[in-house]
Amino acid sequence: MSVTTAGPAQSGFSFGEYLTCLNGIVWREALRFLHQRERFVSALVRPLVWLFIFAAGFRQVLGISIIPPYETYILYEVYIAPGLMAMIQLFNGMQSSLSMVYDREMGNMRTLLVSPLPRWYLLFCKLLAGTAVSLLQVYAFLLIAWFWDIAPPPIGYLTVLPALVLSGLMLGALGMLISSGIKQLENFAGVMNFVIFPMFFASSALYPLWRVQEGSPMLYYVCDFNPFTHAVELVRFALYGKMNWVSLAVVVGCTLVFMIGAIYAYDPSRGFSRRGPAGGET
Amino acid sequence: MWRRYLLSGLALGLLSAVPARAYVAYVSNEKGNTVSVIDTDSWTVTNTIKVGQRPRGIEYTRDGKFVMVAVGDDDTIQVIDTKTQQVTDTLPSGPDPELFTQDTTGKVLYVANENDNTVTVIDLEKRARLGDIQVGVEPEGMAISPDDRVLINTSETTNMAHFIDTSSRQVVASVLVDSRPRFAAFKPDGSELWVSSEIGGTVSIIDPQKHAVTGKIEFAIPGLRKEAIQPVGINMTRDGKTVFVALGPANRIAVVDGASHAVTKYLLVGQRVWHMAFTPDGKYLLSTNGLSNDVSVIDVAAQKVIKTIQVGELPWGIAMQP
């Protein structure tokens, strides 16, 4: 208790004020998401296209092997479901960072950043808000996938939640870090080509790593090094009530690194504002 | 009052936490010349028993005290004591015994001898050979009607299901089915006989009274060649409402509606699925997957494969304790 109160007392804010700030940021993000119905639909259509169309053609790709955490042979659509859940979060993470670039251009960010609360806290709230939105999308996807015979054990829907929060934070923090370096909205297309696609394809989302290793040992190392692979594996194991400790360590580590990086990059003395005028921030 | 609710809730919780009764399954490994013993509580292999060469057909005696396994290349049937889990005796079959069945009392055993075109009749109490019945070429599938009056033998090369009168031990009728019939099973009420044809890729439904094929079940799995679909083992739930058909190299088990004969689902299991057995409570079905050396466990009510267990080399048959 004393620890909780010590923080705000030092910076001059009460716990309630921190909560009000968190509530404001999360609510704004939720409202924005709810008002953009096309965004919700497109966030669902993307993984569903992969599930219904792509997976249909690759049913035999897994061959005969039992891959942990599965305890028996599975169809390809069952395999890619966790990868698609992480893909939703990857796109969502990048989209929230896109919104930050937009906010900066439009001048909304100034309103946020003039808040007297510490900057790291504002950014963390923004990350939490983005993660909460991604959770809505992922659970909506899981509901539709259930009708497609992708039915993990019932407890899996609960155990996957902390894993999704962690992977959502990691991917959101990565997006935030990237957004700090983007000056204009138009440049965001580059993020698609240079971040989202390589991260998604060079991971275990679409193919198990042993399959990748058969094709190219070099690519296997790239995939294994990719934090997105570990986000996928963490989600995959958690969905079946199991824990992948290596992936957990990688995801936690990367979340911290990306988050610290983003906080550093958004510091006015070092971040974008010093790099010159851009849009609404001029 | 609230204490009473709490206690009854606790008791209910404890009751539901009691695990299902554990059963023991024996799996014959054709190439490994062993029998794997599986515990259905932990779903693990608890023992591997060395047996004769090329073990295939395997079954419990009705009293549950012994497991009989046909060791084809040794031309005999070995008897495993389920207490000591050791081979203790042999039964006098003909050359290359493959599959066998016993009557409902567990007194008489009928063995299909693949290389001899005969079915051997064995008295299980005296463990003595009572005689042989001449059948078609390469006899394999064996089934007995629920009233013990009719014995069925399928001959792989003759492509026939032979109806044998168990009292006269004579073939009374032969029904032509599709290519390479490997397995036969009666519906629990005896109203239908199902025969799987491995090369033909079908299951024939036969009227046991009229000795005529009344229907045929065909299978189609998207993305698989028709030749890969080779039906072998057939297992029916006790009420005859659901039938499971192992489809060999299709790596799938078809779930068939017992009444309408419509295929309702395909379950993915290991490679070249051969034979199956239900747990006595009917909750699980276990299948032997020959080429992937494992046994898959199916939740019968959910119609879902829940686990796959590694066993010996080339698992073929499976016997579940009665």
Of residues B188 and B5, the one with the higher pLDDT is: B188
- Residues forming a β-bridge with B25: B38, B320
CB contact under 8 A, A71 and B269: no
Of A60, A71, A75, the CB nearest to B306: A71
Burial of B95 (0-12, 13-18, 19+ CB in 10 A): middle
Q: Are A138 and A150 in contact (CB under 8 A)?
A: no
The hierarchical CATH code for the domain B19-320 is 2.130.10.10
pLDDT tens per residue across span B126-185: 999 999 999 989 999 999 999 999 999 999 999 999 999 999 999 999 999 999 999 999
Q: Which residues contact A36 (CB under 8 A, 6 or more apart)?
A: none
Of residues A44 and B90, the one with the higher pLDDT is: B90
Chain A CB within 8 Å of residue B307 CB: yes
The minimum CA-CA distance between B310 and chain A, rounded to whole Å, is 10
At A63 the pLDDT is 57
Mean pLDDT of B39-43: 93
Share of chain A above pLDDT 70, in %: 87
At A121 the pLDDT is 83
Question: In which element (H, E) is residue B134 found?
Answer: strand B128-134
Chain B CB within 8 Å of residue A153 CB: no
At B316 the pLDDT is 96
Place of tokens 């809505």: A136
The minimum CA-CA distance between B306 and chain A, rounded to whole Å, is 7
Distance CA A88, CA A232 (A): 11
- Asked if pLDDT for residue A117 goes beyond 80, the answer is no
Distance CA B315, CA B293 (A): 6
- What phi and psi values does residue A88 have, to the nearest 5 degrees? -55, -45
Give Dmax (Cα) for chain A: 61
pTM: 0.79
Chain A CB within 8 Å of residue B306 CB: yes
- Asked if pLDDT for residue A236 goes beyond 70, the answer is yes
Distance CA B278, CA B266 (A): 18
At A270 the pLDDT is 61
Q: How far is CA B51 from CA A67, A155, A207, A226, B264, in A?
A: 32, 42, 41, 50, 39
The minimum CA-CA distance between B304 and chain A, rounded to whole Å, is 10
Place of tokens 């989600």: A235
pLDDT tens per residue across span A177-228: 888 777 776 766 777 778 888 899 999 988 888 888 888 888 899 999 999 9
Would you place residue A84 in the very low, low, confident or very high pLDDT band (cuts 50, 70, 90)?
very high
Mean pLDDT of B102-128: 92
Candidates A49, A107, A79, A111; CA nearest to A203 is A79
Amino acid of residue A65: S
- Asked if pLDDT for residue A99 goes beyond 90, the answer is no
At A2 the pLDDT is 37
Q: Which chain B residues contact residue A72 at CB under 8 A?
A: 268-269, 296-297, 305-308
